Amino acid sequence: MTKPSTDHAEASPTKKFFVSMLTRDISLADAILDLVDNCLDGALRLANGGDVDYAQHWVKIKLSEELFSIEDNCGGIPREVAKNYAFKMGRAPDDDRDSESETIGMYGVGMKRAIFKMGRDALVRTRHGDDTFEVPISSDWLDDPGWAPLPINEPNESNEVLDTPGTTIQVRELYGGVSRHFRNEAFENEVRAAIAEHFTMFLQRGLTVELNGVGVEPVHVEVLVSNRPDGPAPYIFQKTIDGVLVSITVGLNTSRPASSDDEESGFDEKRSSRTAGWTVLCNDRAVIVGDKSRLTGWGDGIPMYHDQFIVITGIIEFRATDAEKLPVTTTKRALDTSSNVWLESLVKMKEGMRVWITYTNQWKNHPRADQTEHWKDSRPLSLEQAVETVGKRAETKRSGDRIEFNPKKAKVLPEPPGKKPSSRRIVFSRPIEEVRLVSRMFFDTDDEKPGAVGEKCFELILAKAKKQEG
């Protein structure tokens, strides 16, 4: 049995280790999204549990070779919060802000992680009510091995005061790689697309997000719903699971199925609509947009995603006041797939997908025009609108807070005319010179679609075969 001595072994984390570990598992674009998340959480707190009027709020982001900045008018940081929580590395157990509102911040690392990811000199300036102050995170502080508290500075001059309550973060001394990304237009495009997708619900409600002076337009993820009560409609499911309200819809989007004549298909996998596949929303944030992988059930008891399914869109939303119940990881851009609420939802997601996989199989060898007729009075609707509209239909099953509509069981899906279960597909390749030659013979033009040329060849020989038989 040993006895305690007066010596201690140092066990606190070094700053260098902490900073490098913290920033390693987040991409640069996600770090920027984290900062926008913080702005939105600010707007929610400002509304104090009431409805947020997002049209009143803006976020302005600037990316350049020397400087990153993000400004918002979302209420700013209260001084007490800044002193005790906001700059702490990780959320303190006694921090009970937001227990009543649908914010998404939970680990208390977003802002610090984003700053450390970008550069070595940052300034956070904030105004809460009429109280303005700033917190510098300098390279000296970063280089110092100790964990000295950060200074809080008061404004001295008028240009150090913000016009409206809100927060401005500036990061300088950007790392080389970061600087190279910030001046690159493709990276700016990536960030813009990510904001358009991730914050689509907020943008649709009027939030303004500017990136380098240009407003970001929301991406609409929608499914087609017929106006007729017996017309085609998407699969709908809604239920509260473990304190999380889960809403699901799976239906057709407005994409066009890939033509079988397109040489690109098969080879060029990216030839697909961004919004085809699954979009996952958590408290209005789109965690994932257009997922076509095993993560969302593709290839797991149902076929793998391929071009035929470009017309299928699924949307699932999780809503909870306690952010820890949501099935997301710390980066908020990935799913926690082991959670119960996710696993239970996945079953329903696959059920909805199966309906539309069968549907696209049935229509595979039929001209698109035949199908269009059935959908001509349909409109693209968001998840919320689809649940509301389809929820009113007579065939919708309800029990408690559970709503379910299965279009196959409700028999509202159009079937192709003269559908023959014995139909088989013929696919083959020939050199373009030969296709042109035959095309010229049949159609007096050498650029008819190869598929049409092939089909006519078959019809021709079929007629001959029938004659011989008969």
Partner 1 sequence: MASGSSLPYRLRPNKAVDRELFLALLTRLSPSLGLEQYRYIGLGGPFLEDFRLVHARLGIGRMTSVEAEEQTHRRQLFNRPIASIECVHDTLEDYLDGEYFDGPVIIWFDYTDPGSLSTQIERFALTVGAVPTGSVLRLTLNANPSSLGKPDPHELSVEADDEASEDRAVKPTIQEWRLARFRERLGPLFPSGLSADGMTRKTYGQSILHALKLAVDKEVLSHPDRQVVWTLATHYSDGQPMVTATLVVCAADDKTITQLAEGWEFYSTTEQPHRLDLPALSTLERLTMESNEDARGCLGFELPKSDMGVDPFDVFEKFYRIYPHFSRVHL
Binding site for partner 1 (CB under 8 A): 177, 180-181, 184-187, 189-190, 192-193, 196, 214, 216-217, 254-256, 262-264, 267-268, 270-274, 310, 369, 372, 376-379, 432-433, 445-447
Pick the closest to residue 32 from 332, 334, 288, 322 (CA basis). 332
Answer for the pair 326, 340: CB distance below 8 angstroms, yes or no: no
Backbone angles phi, psi at 227, to 5 degrees: -75, -25
CA distance 345 to 327: 11
For partner 1, give the closer residue by CB, 242 or 263.
263
Residues present in the chain in total? 470
The DSSP string of 172-228 is EEE-HHHHHHHT-HHHHHHHHHHHHHHTHHHHHTT-EEEETTEEPPPPP--EEEESS
For partner 1, give the closer residue by CB, 267 or 428.
267
For partner 1, give the closer residue by CB, 270 or 425.
270
Number of C-alpha atoms within 13 angstroms, CB side, residue 388? 5
Answer for the pair 35, 21: CB distance below 8 angstroms, yes or no: no
Residue 185 CB, nearest approach to partner 1 (Å): 5
Residue 188 CB, nearest approach to partner 1 (Å): 9
Residue 226 CB, nearest approach to partner 1 (Å): 11
The DSSP string of 305-323 is P-GGGGGEEEEEEEE-SSG
CA distance 449 to 435: 9
Both tokens of 434, joined, read 């030969």
If you search the block for the tokens 């001509």, which residue do you land on?
Answer: 376
For partner 1, give the closer residue by CB, 100 or 447.
447
**Chain centroid to CA 142:** 34
For partner 1, give the closer residue by CB, 14 or 64.
64
For partner 1, give the closer residue by CB, 172 or 274.
274
Burial (Cβ within 10 Å: 0-12, 13-18, ≥19) of residue 16: exposed
For partner 1, give the closer residue by CB, 253 or 331.
253
For partner 1, give the closer residue by CB, 209 or 241.
209
Contacts of 82 (CB under 8 A, 6+ apart): 126, 133, 135, 152
Residue 117 CB, nearest approach to partner 1 (Å): 16
For partner 1, give the closer residue by CB, 93 or 431.
431
Contacts of 112 (CB under 8 A, 6+ apart): 22, 87, 89
Residue 229 CB, nearest approach to partner 1 (Å): 17
Answer for the pair 342, 297: CB distance below 8 angstroms, yes or no: no
Residue 465 CB, nearest approach to partner 1 (Å): 32
Number of C-alpha atoms within 13 angstroms, CB side, residue 207? 27
Residue 212 CB, nearest approach to partner 1 (Å): 11
Residue 179 CB, nearest approach to partner 1 (Å): 11
Residue 201 CB, nearest approach to partner 1 (Å): 17
